[in-house]
Amino acid sequence: MEKITWRCKDCGYTFESDAGKPPPESCPGCKEKCEFLNVTCYVPECGMEGQDPRLK
Ligand SMILES: [Zn+2]
C-alpha cells in the first residue's frame, strides 16, 4: 500500500500513514493538534519513497 509521509508543522515530527487515511488529529511527536504537511516524495529524484528533501 502506498504511504503518505506527514510532517508536523509545529515540531517537525515526521511519520507515515497509509494513503487514503487522513493524518491523525493530534501529533504523535508533540501531542498537540497540529497541521500536517504532506511531504511524501512523488518524484524519481528522491527515490519515490520517504520524504522529499526539497520540502524540508
Ligand atoms: Zn507536532
Global pTM reads 0.72
Q: 15 Cβ partners below 8 Å, 6+ apart?
A: 5, 6, 28, 29
Total number of domains in the chain: 1
Contact call for residues 13 and 27 (beta carbons, < 8 A): yes
39 Cα: distance to centroid of ligand 1 (angstroms): 14
| pLDDT in the model for residue 48 | 57
Span 6-54, pLDDT tens digits: 999 999 999 999 988 888 889 999 999 999 999 988 776 666 556 666 6
Range of the domain at 18: 3-55
User: From ligand 1's centre to the CA of 24, what distance in Å?
Assistant: 11
Separation of CA 29 and ligand 1 centre (Å): 5
